[in-house]
Amino acid sequence: MKVLKNILMFCGVFFIVGTLVFATKSTEFSNNDPKKVVANDSIEKNVASEYRISSIDIPQDLNFAGEIVPQEDPEIMERIDREFLVNTYWQSNALLLMKRAHKYFPVIEPILAKNGIPDDFKYLAVAESGLTNVVSPAGATGFWQIMRETGREYGLEINSNVDERYHLEKSTEVACKYLNRWKDKYGSWSLTAAAYNAGPGSINKYMGIQQVDNYWDLLLGDETGRYVFRILAIKEILSNPEKYGFHLEKDDYYTAVPTFTVEIDEPVASFADFAQQYEINYKILKRHNPWLREPHLNNSSRKKYAIEIPNKGYYKETK
């Protein structure tokens, strides 16, 4: 009986070892199959042929707000090339900017036009904030990155309850006033844009030290030195997406939800309760009124405020 068990065990081990050896040999033969090697090479060639990264053909007639860019200067061209490459090949960001621009440019454009600001300055807002209500480490806030002191100087209400730097229409009006003020001083839209980014004090200092009177000849810090060139690249790419490899269908773009206005001139104890009166929730109310900074409104002065309420049918109703 013991001998029989040993024989059976030996046969089992032999069978397992044989199976493993056969499997190994089969894998080797399969890996050496010339048809498979050709197929793999073909896949690699297809990927290489369909995915190409190339230099950008820079338009030869670039201008910022009507000011001709001195593209005959090789140093200027290198700076332009950098911004075109960075902003073209940062595809996810470019797509987001295109989608947001479709939603917000119709609000910004008529305000710029009304105040005599060139349409190109809508791209300054893109460069400043990516068309989002961001806050910089220095405290600059909103689409136009307005500092607290500047906002108050130009008439915006800024306190714990209300911060109108988050109000797109009102902050755009302030940006226009600021831009017109410094255009009157500098006589140049490119210098005005640089002053918007770095502050007029910095621009005045650099112009005095370097004894130059235009943006293109100024040696500035990295951010402001790239600033107008970045705006130029954003303008060109967003204006001609197909030319730079971006394809969006009509439904791909973000669109504004239609709203109506409710005026209030009294305190609001709870904006959550206020929102429910219009069958929306607090989150949706805040999306349309980001300048309301707290879930209540003190309003002891009985100031009149215009609250945007979305039309019915665009959000799930809250009851």
169 is catalytic: no
Q: How far is CA 272 from CA 35, 138, 279, 296, in A?
A: 67, 31, 10, 9
Per-residue b or e along 292-311, where b marks 16 or more CB atoms closer than 10 Å to that residue's CB: beebebebeeeeebebbbbe
Do the beta carbons of residue 190 and residue 67 sit within 8 Å? Answer: yes
Active-site pick, 67, 128, 164, 173: 128
Q: Which amino acid, one-letter code, is at 146?
A: I
CA distance 250 to 99: 10
* Beta-bridge partners for 141: 135, 146
Q: Is 66 exposed, middle or buried (0-12, 13-18, 19+ CB in 10 A)?
A: exposed
Among all residues, which ones are annotated catalytic? 128
